[in-house]
Amino acid sequence: MKQYITQDPWNIVEEGFHRDHNEITESLMSLGNGRIGQRGNFEEKFTGKTLQGNYVAGVYYPDKTRVGWWKNGYPDYFAKVLNAANWIGIDIDVEYESLDLNTCDVHDFRRVLNMQAGYLERSFVATLKSGKQLKVNSKRFCSIVDDEAGVIRYSITPLNFDAKITITPYIDGTIRNRDANYDETFWDEVRKETAYGEAYIELRTRKTGFHVASGMCVEIEQDAAKVDYQSQPIKYEKYVANRITLDCWQGQETVIYKYAVNLSSLNYDSDSLVKEARQYIQRITRKGFDKMLFEQKQAWADKWKMNDITIDGDVAAQQGIRFNIFQLNQTYTGEDERLNIGPKGFTGEKYGGSTYWDTEAYCLPFYLSTADQKVARNLLVYRYKHLQKAIENAQKLGFRAGAALYPMVTMNGEECHNEWEITFEEIHRNGAIAYAIYDYVRYTGDELYLVDYGLEVLIAISRFWSQRVNWSKDKNQYVMLGVTGPNEYENNVNNNWYTNYIAAWTLRYTIEAVGKVKALNPDKYADLIDRIHFREEKEISTAQHIVDNMHYPFDDGRQVFLQQSDFLDKDLMPVSDIPKGQRPLNQNWSWDRILRSCFIKQADVLQGLYFFEDEFDTDTLRRNFDFYEPMTVHESSLSPCVHSIQASKLGMVEKAYEMYLRTARLDLDDYNNDTEDGCHITSMAGTWLAVVKGFGGMRVDAKGLSFRPYCPAGWQSLAFKIRFRGVLLQITTTQQDVTVQNFSQQPITLRVHGEPLIIAGNSQETVVVKELA
């Protein structure tokens, strides 16, 4: 754990240059707009510890799989989120010395990510070896208004000298992925051009053939007036630049504006990419930095109006939640149904691929409640469009008759993860995709989604479950052998309770959805079953038989569900018995030792009790929580949030708060010692869940929307906003009472602490906070 980031409600602040933590800070200070993004790297040259990272959404590389022993069914590739051309670079040379914070003395360093307005700012004074002192101030952002553009204002002021300073703004496509399996480069150059103050480069990915054109235009001001500078174009392989030498006087500020764009062939015809890039650059240059920044601030203000969470009385918690909301908004905007939410977003390379079960299990509820309905719908449609690939994926493993197994990790619908215990066995992800359909329909009431898309996906997933279980003569029940549950610290187990449960639940829900769709639109239903050869009677009766006869391992003594059939053979002990210095286990123990231990990486049985809480009483939750939580090491970032929500439900408020802080500040405090790889973007949605479903107690069920809010000790108030079926609400909780404010015209009926409330349009109601469970 590291705590060098200054606590502040709206900013992520690094005071003083923490050279050794630079890659962590770069992850934290990442910028993005859903289409392009980058790590918080320096503009000028830096020879110290850094992971240069620029990313263009949807552009990936199918890196050849690396395994020791090939197994049939493995995917051929592991998709890498591609590190793309570095468009922020501006080299500064003072006579013969380069500005490089690794080799000069650095004073008054401050790097700030302004989350309210969506930009990154940095200032420092550098003393070069010669004693020359240079003051630098930079500000940049990825525009959410012009979402293929980024812009930088970079100013330099000599403090104790007059000199010729050479400024070299560039675009560098020689970049490599640090996580490349065979150390290959993934880009080829297509063309490049330079003109006065402008430069363009078009690169093409190997194998996938994506084209990306990056362009830049540079303007310079001195004494607040535009400078008509001389520039020398520079072209190397995959590199373009303009070298500009200026007379700079002591105390005089020189400001460099660098306008940049990154256009990809996902959105443009590849033949005209550079032409489009030039037009885009001209348009934003005409608009100018100040106007772009103004628009950026407005656009962020609009976003915050819809989804800010305020916590009075706890700056650490406040900063944590805003950081999470900010990064989620930077990663995914829902504008483009081909895109998804990678576990690292635009903040790093690790985890290749862009879509995991994280999207459905964790992120969907965030977008459902904080964005337009079409955003969450697009996340579902994304999977609908991959259905054919999921069917092919299941076929490769021997399943048939339209059974679908969605990939564990994907870019385009194909599986691209190749650890057998995950690819072949962590099949519970299929259930999360079915659950997301249910979650969306329950929240929005949009049952027509089932007619147009949902049922087809549910039937295909149900076909998979029906074939994946087998009848045990010994148990006289259905069993599911050789799986990995959400807890990846156990592999190849039999009857993972969570997987068995979600499989049977999917079958149940599919049967229900068949009935619904038939009633809603018999014609479309008839077309669908004809197209996918759904033998209604037979398939439904098989599904019902499985539902009625599924095996769920259970311990009669403790009255808890068993994570898997043999769980009780393990040497059970609490995490507190692990000797000091041996955590995280995945960095200290052999894999073999981890697999045999009772320690749990992330919510597993508890994940099921979280999804299906309406089907279990509070005592069941408490018994299972008390049994499993003490054995849980939370070494997946997806873990603490589920525990926090459940602890809130059980009235274990201190535990809920402890788990909340761990999720909210996971990256800011580098809890798992891995933030340098990038931020845990998908688990950030879990942080939001811990506030809204945990402290806020928000639920949507057949009776509608309800809340059971409370304020953790030490907080004066907690306020969050949600959108629900056309209504925007703010729920504000103090230690004493809860106020629900309705910002819409339309009235809404809901329950707060079990009491029904009708809140008229544009009004509010206050009730008293009640004791939890």
What lies within 8 Å, CB to CB, of 408 at 6+ separation is 356, 357, 415, 417, 422, 423, 426, 429
Q: Name the minimum Å distance from CB 422 to ligand BGC.
A: 9
The vertex-107 CA angle with 101 and 111, nearest 5°, equals 70
The 3-state secondary structure of 444-505 reads HCCCHHHHHHHHHHHHHHHHHHHHHCEEECCCCEEECCCECCCCCCCCCECCCHHHHHHHHH
Burial of 337 (0-12, 13-18, 19+ CB in 10 A): middle
C-beta of 139 vs 428, nearer to ligand BGC: 428
639-649 vs 618-628: helix axis angle to the nearest 10? 140
What lies within 8 Å, CB to CB, of 344 at 6+ separation is 81, 350, 351, 677, 678, 679, 680, 681
CA distance 49 to 209: 31
Q: Name the minimum Å distance from CB 537 to ligand BGC.
A: 37
Can residue 52 be called a binding residue for ligand BGC (CB under 6 A)? no
Q: What is the per-residue binding string for ligand BGC in 560-599, x denoting contact by CB under 6 A?
A: ----------------------------------------
Can residue 602 be called a binding residue for ligand BGC (CB under 6 A)? yes
Assess contact for 250 and 200: CB atoms under 8 A. Answer: no
Can residue 682 be called a binding residue for ligand BGC (CB under 6 A)? yes
Instruction: Kindly tell me which residue out of 638, 668, 685, 698 binds ligand BGC, with binding defined by CB under 6 A.
Output: 638
CA distance 661 to 548: 41
Can residue 483 be called a binding residue for ligand BGC (CB under 6 A)? no
385 annotated to bind ligand: no
Between the CA of residue 308 and those of 325, 363, 369, 475, 719, what are the distances in Å? 8, 16, 12, 52, 8
Instruction: Kindly tell me which residue out of 349, 358, 414, 629 binds ligand BGC, with binding defined by CB under 6 A.
Output: 358
38 annotated to bind ligand: no
Q: Scanning residues 319 to 348, which ones bind ligand BGC (CB under 6 A)? A: 343
Catalytic residue of the set 414, 488, 539, 676? 488
Stretch that binds ligand BGC, among 218-226, 352-360, 431-439, 752-760 (CB under 6 A): 352-360
Instruction: Kindly tell me which residue out of 636, 732, 734, 742 binds ligand BGC, with binding defined by CB under 6 A.
Output: 636
601 annotated to bind ligand: yes
CA distance 151 to 168: 16
Instruction: Kindly tell me which residue out of 77, 186, 289, 356 binds ligand BGC, with binding defined by CB under 6 A.
Output: 356
Q: Name the minimum Å distance from CB 425 to ligand BGC.
A: 13
Stretch that binds ligand BGC, among 295-303, 354-362, 389-397, 623-631 (CB under 6 A): 354-362
755 given a catalytic annotation: no
Paired residues of 734 in beta bridges: 717
| 704-707/748-752 β-pairing | parallel
Asked, as a colleague might, if the bond just before 584 is cis with ω within 30 of 0, I would say: yes
Q: Name the minimum Å distance from CB 609 to ligand BGC.
A: 17
Q: Which of helix, strand or coil describes residue 758?
A: strand
Can residue 733 be called a binding residue for ligand BGC (CB under 6 A)? no
Q: Name the minimum Å distance from CB 1 to ligand BGC.
A: 19
Assess contact for 117 and 300: CB atoms under 8 A. Answer: yes
Can residue 488 be called a binding residue for ligand BGC (CB under 6 A)? yes
Q: Name the minimum Å distance from CB 501 to ligand BGC.
A: 17
The amino acid occupying position 174 is T
* DSSP output for 216-230: EEEEEEETTEE----
Stretch that binds ligand BGC, among 143-151, 165-173, 355-363, 391-399 (CB under 6 A): 355-363
Stretch that binds ligand BGC, among 10-18, 48-56, 298-306, 356-364 (CB under 6 A): 356-364
269 annotated to bind ligand: no
Binding site for ligand BGC (CB under 6 A): 343, 351, 356-358, 486, 488, 601-602, 636, 638, 682
Which residues define the annotated binding site? 357-358, 601-602
Which residues define the annotated binding site for substrate? 357-358, 601-602
Residues classed as catalytic: 488
